[in-house]
Amino acid sequence: MEKIYENALGSRLRKLGIEVKQQFALTVFDEDGTILGEYFADLYIEERLIVELKAGRTVVDEHVAQLLGYLRSSRVETGLLINFGAPVLSVKKYLMTDSPI
């Protein structure tokens, strides 16, 4: 089901004129800048937002850790974790920053 939700969300965002890349390869870096490989973001929006989609009854700690790891290692600051599988749609925003708020 995640692929269906990915296609639907990507299509609707494009219709609004928003740049969306599906299964977009992001370079993953180690702390020292060494390239470790690639991660494929479900959706990469406007070249600054990673969206990870889930279709489970609940969001578990592993899903959050996965997204935070992707943000940290790809050096993208903002991510959304969207779960379509719960009785109520769940959207949570995560931010990786070194700047004080």
Give the pLDDT confidence score for residue 101 in this predicted structure: 52
Place of tokens 């494009």: 14
CATH number at residue 19: 3.90.320.10
- What domain range is 8 assigned to? 2-95
Distances (CA, A) of 7 to 1, 53, 73, 91: 10, 11, 25, 17
Residue 100 lies inside a defined structural domain of this protein: no
Q: Domain tally for the chain? A: 1
pTM of the model: 0.86
pLDDT at 31 over 90: no
